[in-house]
Amino acid sequence: MRRYWYRRILIMILVFTISVGGSWYLIEESRASLEKEVNADTSDELLIPGGMPVGIYLETEGALVLGTEKIEGEDGQEYEPAADLVQEGDYIIGLDDEKISNKFQLVEAVAALDKEEVVLKVRRDEQEIAIRMKAVRCGRDEYKLGIWVRDNAQGLGTVTFLNADSQFGALGHGIRDTDTGQLLDASDGLLYTTSIKDIKKGKDGTPGGMEGVIIYNNYNILGSINENTEDGIYGTLDRVDTLFTDTRPLEPAGDESEIQEGEAVIRCAVSGTVEDYKIRITKVDRNAQEANKKIMLEVTDEKLLELTGGIVQGMSGSPIIQNGKLIGAVTHVFVNSPEEGYGIFIQDMLKHIES
């Protein structure tokens, strides 16, 4: 069931930054560091490559705990009631007998408290835990828990592919909380139309980024996000013609055994329109511990280097095409060498698409 969180028009200029401990677009700090065949083999699936930027809105299942803080009580003393009880990365899913789905519900539940003794229900490492704690009385009929929380994430990324069932894959890596570095446990999400307004070029030691305008209203919704994984985000596109003006599929998705070092292209819209840019695949590591780092690549296209300096934030998910086949997507950039980065095999992304 689709949910619409924004009933009013909200215009946001999104300027992406990197935070210590993880972000949407993970940065490597050094080199070291529409037909569908009836076949279970995903290499036979015909895909339409993407390359278009989209606005992304994710809502967590519960309120994500970022940390705790001290509170001044009614008596003038400082207390930290949640210290050593809740942990960064917990999801608050209940307060006493009330179910908590988001930050707003938690704020309302706390505002309605009329006693100190409360039971928080949290989800931690896929287990549900009941935590008994004392809220701090700060004034007449006012209680606080001293917990910082967040319940959504929003930003910009690139669509990698669309299949015959209007299912899409994007980013090639998961969306993580900027404070905790934890993969967001998303309950639901939406894709929105966006337009790129500016490009901040990457240079040694400073990552670049795409700056876009996203209008979060019902008219601009493109589809729904069903899954946020280590290998990207996945869902269903409702307005295919709005995003994909060219719906001709490539040949079947390239098998990982076909990927080789050498010339290839990436497809993205940093110039305002979707174009192909030359790259060179410098290494293929089929045994890499992280699926989204199996391809190492280098941008060789002079036009792209002039526009962006290489790979910039927002390009995650840009399709990688070699020998006429969609073989993967761009996922990371080396902050000290912005013309270089990592990619994921398309087969690792297709594992998340329902057959």
List, by residue number, the catalytic residues. Answer: 173, 301, 316
Task: Report the relative pairing of strands 27-28 and 147-162 from DSSP bridges.
Answer: unpaired
Residue type, 77: Q
Residues 117-120: contacts with CB within 8 Å, 24+ apart?
118/145, 119/94, 119/95, 120/85, 120/86, 120/92, 120/94, 120/95, 120/145
User: How far from each other are the two terminal CA atoms of the chain, in whole angstroms?
Assistant: 20
CA distances from 173 to 22, 227, 234, 280, 292 (A): 12, 12, 11, 21, 6
* 85 Cβ contact partners less than 8 Å away, ≥ 6 residues apart: 120, 131, 133
For residues 338 and 205, what is the distance between their CA atoms, to the nearest angstrom? 8
Q: Are 187 and 59 in contact (CB under 8 A)?
A: yes
> CA 290 to CA 176: how far, in whole Å?
15
Cα dihedral sign, 304-310-315-317:
positive
Q: Would you say how long the chain is, in residues? A: 355
Helix, strand and coil content of the chain, in percent to the nearest 5, comes to 10, 45, 45
Measured CA to CA, the distance from residue 201 to residue 198 in angstroms comes to 10
